[in-house]
Structure formats: structure tokens, C-alpha cells
Amino acid sequence: GARRYLDRGASFQALRLACEGLAEEPDQVELLAVATEAAWRLDFQQEALEHARRWVGLAASERDRIDAQRYVGRLSIEMCDEPGAQAVIDELAHAAGRYAADGDLAAQARAEAAVAQLVMLRHDDAAVEWAERAIEHARSAADRAIEVQARVERASALLSRVSREEA
């Protein structure tokens, strides 16, 4: 039910239900993902960061690990923790290289898109390059959702250089 509440935009109800579930099943990764996103949407940054860090530690799949790290990095940026944000960006960039070496294009694209988002939030021009790599690898992996995310990150980064229509 927590995911359905979140998908409907009922962030407070989603967070409450996810936390109730986590009280019974503290290692439930899906509930940690919902709690992280719901708390972030509500601007409960510290709570979101706590859930995201637990999510990183319990993530069994690379997809979950990357998504959780992206939240940790994003929250670090929003909370002005530059060293923390840089550490996450470095970890994700390293992971993208590791996935490339392993031939896992889907995980590589997801990690690259996460880096693109984080460096875009820091107003770093490298976001465009990261996004373009993510787009290319997401297309090769047939991961439309990551391709779209990376296109949004690229457009967001380009807004400081070109018109909105061009971006």
C-alpha cells in the first residue's frame, strides 16, 4: 500500500505506512525505497537520508544500490554536504566503469544517469557528457526509463547554456 500512496502523490500517508512496515520488517528494501522518496518529497531531508543510507546498505541488486546512492548524493547536495556528495559521485562514477568492464550496459547507464543528475544539481557542465553517455548506453540496453531520465538531466544541464527549446 505504501507504494500505491506514493504513486498517487500521497507522500505523508506513504511515509507513515512505510515506517509502520519498517517497524515490523526493518530490512525490507522496497519499504526503505518508498520511505526515502516520500520523506524527500516532504522535505524531511534528515529522515530521507537515514532511510537512503539503510537502503544502500541492504540493497541486493545493483539497480537498488544505484538508486539509493543517487538519493544519498542528492540529499547530500541539498543539505550542503559537499564532501558527502562528492564521495557518492565518485562511487557511482567508479561503479559505471566497473559495469562497463563487466558488459552490464543497463547498470552502467543507470549509474551514469545518476552521476549526470548529481553533477547537474551542482551546476557542473560535466552533467551533459554523463547524460549523453547514459542515453547511449540506455538505448543499447533498451532501458527506456533511464534513457528518458538521462535526457531530462541533459536538458536541465543545458538550460544554463542554451534556450529552453534547444535544451
Instruction: Give the CA diameter of the chain.
Output: 50
pLDDT score for 159 = 84
Distance CA 29, CA 46 (A): 18
CA 8 to chain centre: 20
Tell me the CA distances in angstroms from 64 to 31, 67, 111, one per residue in order: 12, 5, 11
CB 114 within 8 A of CB 92: yes
Which of 43, 69, 46 has the alpha carbon at shortest distance from 56? 69
- Chunk the chain into consecutive blocks of 10 residues (it has 167) and report each block's average pLDDT, rounded to whole numbers: 93 96 95 97 97 96 94 97 97 95 94 97 93 96 95 90 72
Give the pLDDT score at 167.
63
